[in-house]
Amino acid sequence: MDQASINALRALDVTPRGHFINGAFCASETGAQHQVLSPIDGLPLAQIAEGSPTDVDTAVRAARVAFEDGRWSRMAPAARKKVLLKLGDLIEAHALEIAVLGVRDNGTEINMAYKAEALSAAATFRYYAEVIDKVYGQIAPTSHDVLGLVHHAPVGVVGAIVPWNFPLMIGSWKIAPALAAGNSVVLKPAESASLSLLKIAELAAEAGVPDGVFNVVTGRGAVVGEALALSMDVDIMVFTGSGATGRRLLEYSARSNLKRCYLELGGKSPNIIFADAPDLAEAAKISAAGIFRNSGQVCVAGSRLLVQHEIFEDFVAEITLHAESFRVGDPLELNSQIGAVHSLPELEANLDFVTQAEAEGAERRTGGTRILTETGGYYMAPTVMTGVKQSDNLFQNEVFGPVLAVTPFKDEDEAIRLANATEYGLAAGVWTANLSRAHRMVAGIRAGVVHVNTYGGADLTVPLGGVGQSGNGHDKSLHALDKYFDLKTAWIKI
């Protein structure tokens, strides 16, 4: 990856050819299009197809036909494996192109996008390809004259809705295991970040995924997402995004066919620094990256920093220096460490959080402003706020931006109480040299992932899922397959 190659890809026309349905690109039934602005400069980037309920019905029907005729669902697992391995290879071969496409769409810094989006997606497809011919059913311990078998059966048609912050990484977490298990998929990307997933659909067809098995319908959540979730022919919905949308999906499930909904929702993750942390300088460095990379637009971002009172001022000073040292800029420049906020409304919402926090008595140590306005893009200075109380909006609610809320604590009991004092439970971090304390904190914190003496980096071998209002179900690891299989019992008289 070099700057010249990135610049060449920056100049390419990226307007897609419409939805991807039944193995081909097609225009929306209405002919309508949606303009996408690039967060890099605020200028029009592409026109994508503005999906309609009819488009969704067409995609779901194609997915259902493909599932029922068995072109994929009854293909031998070893054969599906070969196709998905080829898809992983194709994604890796096109990794830089895909990464640049995504950065132009959503503003993630290219160094992160190349690894966390393109290469991560390639690895995810390979992981589930390798797994799927190693998943066995079971023989039940029944009486001698009965054979009880437990089969894993694909569920059917999977509806997937993925967000704009890491569309390809999160999309692959859902698409890869769903396809590996033999299901058909209808995917709705975020309307502001669809380009890389449309490219993946094209590569999937090239790899040999049969027509109708993987479909992408672009457009607005209030239209395309609603139609997908209300469809009587979608068997499960998988979703990553906001709690408000997650609630609507559950409502649509109740109004339609009671489809199962697996939801990875918001987070307000605590990152807890004890005075006995093995390396406070390292803790500050990693903690700063854990909130500020990708402009804080990370589901598991350590957005609440809880610092033991005896090291509070020194640690805040250290993390403030890190915040001020990051190079914020054009995300397609290799020397930029932090890219753009995804959209102008997101940027304005971030700034409003800072304003309200100050009104509630918090102190701004650094940042809190829009920067690089001359570019026309959406950039925000990394922000550190101290004096944030448990009752404050900034403590309780997800910003999804580069804003760190810092709160002191006295001891383990208070740290656990503060960590658990929100409705969320997605991730957490603990920094301590005391092994017993680390285990007590892991046990006491309500979260799907608890990092100890690090923050972030958990790979595909472990699950990601939330508790509380951070959702249900799990992405990643072997456990992700559970969503995409039904258990079927065969009770056979011998």
DSSP 184-198: EEEEE--TTS-HHHH
Amino acid at 47: Q
Pairing of strands 260-264, 157-161: unpaired
The position carrying tokens 């239209």 is 223
Catalytic residue among 109, 264, 346, 412: 264
What is the chain's length?
494
CA distance 2 to 5: 6
The position carrying tokens 């990256």 is 289
| Mean per-residue pLDDT, 298-326 | 98
Amino acid at 477: S
Q: In terms of Cα–Cα distance, which of 129, 179, 454, 85 is closest to 300?
A: 454
pLDDT, tens only, 117-155: 999 999 999 999 999 999 999 999 999 999 999 999 999
pLDDT, tens only, 245-266: 999 999 999 999 999 999 999 9
Select the more confidently predicted residue: 86 or 13: 86
Active site residue 264: yes
The position carrying tokens 């998929």 is 185
Which residues, other chains included, contact 191 with Cβ-Cβ below 8 Å and sequence gap of 6+? 34, 36, 48, 218, 219, 220, 221
CA distance 175 to 159: 10
User: Does the predicted TM-score (pTM) go above 0.95?
Assistant: yes
Q: In terms of Cα–Cα distance, which of 23, 56, 169, 32 is closest to 108?
A: 169
Q: In terms of Cα–Cα distance, which of 302, 273, 292, 256 is closest to 379?
A: 292
Interhelix angle 95-106/77-93, rounded to 10 degrees, is 70
Which domains are present in the chain?
Answer: 3-265+471-493 (3.40.605.10), 270-459 (3.40.309.10)
pLDDT, tens only, 414-453: 999 999 999 999 999 999 999 999 999 999 999 999 999 9
